[in-house]
Amino acid sequence: MKITKNRKKIITNLDASKVYEPLEAIKILKENSYVKFNETIDISINLGIDSNKTEQNIKGVVNLPKGSGKTVKVAVVANEDKQGDAKSSGADLVGSEDLIENISKSKIDFDILIATPDMMPKLGKVAKILGPKGLMPNPKLGTVTNEISQSVKDAKSGQVKFKNDKSGIVHAGVGKIDFSEEDLLENIKTFYSSIVKSKPDAVKGSFVKKVTIASTMGIGLSINQASLR
């Protein structure tokens, strides 16, 4: 991959092998942003798990206290008695069989799909479309619920889904580069804490091996996880 002059300059001026204090790393990323768009601050957490063993994999959701900075389109599949709650809470798309029919035609114009439990059997026919996109509602992720209003508000205000990849790493966006250093740190600490609490009983020994943060176009900086506790 071709390295730009700006990226070369950043790499030259930074020690990629160093473990930084979280606030120091955040400050460096903000000072070295050279693009014209509002970059996302991403976190990568390397876990001491065997991803080939189902009982060691993790997935869940976390509500970032300072929001994600991302505009999220939320769709809700519910019967008429719950549709009013969905609309008043800010859902972008609300429906029942009509919305499921659109999904069956691969008309997917949303980032998160929330459903009431009674609609799950009907959603079964589009599971093969939603599943590969990571959009199938799941009780563990809080997207199958009768508490539609709260679920929509959570999704809109900064709820982030997470699960480890095949390498045993969890990736997530924890804010935008124009957030204050303190707000980014609070989001990072909250996300880190949620991952630590997700440690499966089947995992013995060290669970979190390494924590790295990076901006969209920046380089990854290892941060001191002891400072996140």
Beta bridge partners of 221: 213
**52 shares its domain with 164:** yes
List, for residues 84-138, the tens digit of each pLDDT value: 999 999 999 999 999 999 999 999 999 999 999 999 999 999 999 999 998 999 9
Amino acid present at 150: Q
- Tell me, yes or no, whether 8 lies in a domain: no
Instruction: Identify the domain boundary among 140, 157, 174.
Output: 157
List, for residues 148-158, the tens digit of each pLDDT value: 999 999 888 88
Instruction: Identify the domain boundary among 157, 190, 214.
Output: 157
Question: What is the reported pLDDT for 34?
Answer: 86
Number of H helices, E strands in the chain: 8, 10
At 91 the three-state DSSP class reads coil
Name which of 157, 148, 155 is nearest 87 in CA terms.
148
Q: What is the pTM of this model?
A: 0.82
**83 shares its domain with 136:** yes
Question: What is the reported pLDDT for 6?
Answer: 65
CATH number for position 137: 3.40.50.790
Question: What is the reported pLDDT for 144?
Answer: 95
- Tell me, yes or no, whether 7 lies in a domain: no
Domain that holds residue 137: 74-157
- On the question of pLDDT at 3 being above 60, the answer is no
